[in-house]
A = this chain, B = another copy of it.
Amino acid sequence: MTNTPRANDNGNARRPAAELSIAAPQTLTREGGDSLVDQIVRSIEARIDDKLLRSGARMPSIRQFADLHGVSRFTVVEAYDRLVAKGYLDSRRGSGFYVRERAPLAAPVAARAVDAAPAQLDVVWLVRNMFRQQLPPGRTPGSGLLPGDWLDGELIANGLRAISRQNQSQLLQYGNPQGFLPLRQQLQLKLAELEIAATPEQIVTTSGITQALDIVARHFTQPGDTIFVDDPAWFLMFGSFATMGTKVVGIPRLPDGPDIARLAELAAIHKPRLYVLNSVLHNPTSTSLSAAKAFQVLKIAEQHDITIVEDDIYCDLHPGPQVQPATRIAALDQLNRVIYLGGFSKTLAANLRVGFIATSPEMAKRLSDRKMLSTLTTSDIGERIVYKILSEGHYRKHVDRLRGKLDGVRDKTFKQLERIGMRIDIAAPAGLFVWADAGCDTTLLAERALEEHILLAPGALFSPSQLPSTRMRINVASMSDMAVLRFFEREIGRLQGK
C-alpha cells in the first residue's frame, strides 16, 4: 500500500491519497447500536469537516480500506456511496474516491453567485453538522434542539394516523395559502395568553421561523439596506440576510435586553429597516427583555421608523415572570410596528416545519402573497398535526414537562461547567442554553471537539462580524455524556495554556 498516486490514476489525482490512518475510523466496533457503515461514514465525515482530510485528497481504495480495517468490501462500498450521496466524496470513474471541494454556505453579497469570490461566512460547518443526525445526542452540546428522547414522538405519530383517517380530498389539493385556518384560530388563543391580540386573518403560517424571517426580510429590504440583529444572535440569519444584499449590524445584548444607548446611536447612523430580536430566552444567552427595555426599544423604533421582528421561538420554554421577567414588545405595541414570529420546531418536532407570522391584517395579506410566490402553500400536514395537539390540550402538559426536565438538568450542568473552570454569569437560569465562557478560543475548541464526535457551537458563529470569542452556546439538555465534560476539562486546560 502506498500513499502516492498510482500509475493507473488517469492523471486525475491532484494530491496524494489521504493517510489511511487518518481516513479510517479509530475504533470500529460491532457492539452498540451503530452499524459498521454508520461508524465509517461518521468518522470520515468528521475528519473532512475538521479538515484533517482536505479537498481533493484521494481516499484509500475499497480493497485497501477493507483489508486494513478487517471489514468487508461491501461495507466500504456502502459507506463510500453514502459519503458521495452526502457530498463528502466524489467518485471518479476508473480512478477512485476523492474528498469533494465544499461550497461556501453563503453567497457573496449582491453579487453573481456563480463567478464572484465568496465572502467566507464560516457558518457552513456547524449548520451542516447540525443536520448530522448520526452524532449521539449526549455529545451535541452545540445543538439548538432538545434531544429526540425528550420529545413525544407518539404525539406526532397519533397526528399522522388521525390525518390518514380524515377526508382524503383535503390532502390532494392545495391547502389555504395563509395556513390551515383551525390552527390559526388556535394560535389566536395562544397569542391572547401573551396579551397579543391577533385574529386568524392576522396570522400566516410558514415553514418554520426560517421561512418567516426570509419572507419578512425580502418584503422589507432591498440590497444595501441595513438589518439590526442582536449581538450575539442566531447565525443562520446572517447568511440569509447576506444573500439578499443587506447589511447586518449587531446591537450588543445585555442581560436585560439590548444596549439602549448603542441602539439609539446605531439607529441614527444606519437607519435600519428591521430589527430582528429574541425578546424571550434569547439565543444564545437565554436571557429575556425587561419591561423597561422593551419600552425603550419600541420608542427608538418609532423614532427611526424601524419595524421590529420579534422572534419568539423559545416562548414555551420560558419558566414564567416569577423566575425571569420577560416582556414581549408585541404585547406593548399590538402588532403595529412589531411583527411577531413563533413556531413549534423546538417543542414538538423540527421536521413538521410549522412556524407562523402574526402582524397587522394588511401586512398579513402582503406576507401571505409573498409566501404564495415563493412556496405557493405550506403543506398543511404539519399544520393539522400541530392543530390537533393544541386543540386537544396535550401541548400545555407537554411543555410543562419539558420545562421541568430542563430545570432538572440545568443546575447540574452549571455546577459541572463551573467546576471545570467555565464562567457562567447568568442572573436567572432559564431555557435551553447557557452562554458559557471557556476562557479560550472556542472555535479552536469546536474544531478539536469534532474529532471526538462532539458538536460545539462556538461564540464566533453568533457574532454578526464573526469575531473570535471565548464564549460558546451550550445546550443543557445535551450534556448527558460524561465524555463531553472530560473533553472540556482536558482541552480547555490545554488551549488556555497556549
Chain A residues near B (Cβ < 8 Å): 82, 84-87, 90, 100-107, 110-114, 124, 127-128, 130-131, 133, 145, 148-149, 151, 153-154, 156-158, 160-161, 163-165, 168-178, 181, 184-185, 199-201, 207-208, 210-211, 214, 218-220, 222-223, 236, 239-240, 243, 245, 349-353, 361-362, 364-366, 369-370, 372-382
Contact = CB atoms under 8 A, between A and B. Distances in A.
A5 to B, nearest CB: 22
B218 A131 contact: no
A376 B210 contact: yes
Given A102-B365, A207-B207, A243-B373, A349 B218 contact: no
Pick from A87, A104, A106, A177 the residue with the most CB of B within 10 Å. Answer: A87
A84 B168 contact: no
A370 B243 contact: yes
Contacts of A362: 101, 103
Contacts of A163: 160
Contacts of A240: 373-374
Given A101-B362, A148-B172, 11 more contacts: A82-B181, A86-B181, A87-B365, A161-B161, A172-B349, A207-B207, A207-B375, A214-B375, A222-B223, A222-B245, A243-B370
A380 B111 CA distance: 32
Contacts of A351: 170-175, 377, 379-381
A268 to B, nearest CB: 20
Nearest to A158: B164
Contacts of A352: 171, 379, 381
Contacts of A239: 373
A52 to B, nearest CB: 21
A379 B110 CA distance: 29
A211 B222 CA distance: 20
Contacts of A165: 157
Contacts of A161: 160-161, 164
Which DSSP category, helix, strand, loop or mixed, fits chain A's interface? helix
Contacts of A106: 369, 373
Nearest to A101: B362
A158 B168 CA distance: 11
Contacts of A175: 131, 351
A130 B187 CA distance: 25
A172 B211 contact: no
A176 to B, nearest CB: 6
A236 B168 contact: no
B199 A85 contact: yes
Contacts of A154: 168
12 contacts: A84-B201, A111-B222, A133-B173, A145-B173, A149-B169, A160-B161, A207-B378, A208-B376, A236-B373, A243-B370, A351-B379, A353-B378
B148 A169 contact: yes
A440 to B, nearest CB: 30
A243 B214 contact: no
Nearest to A84: B201
A157 B168 contact: yes
A85 B365 contact: no
A124 B365 CA distance: 11
Contacts of A366: 103, 107, 113
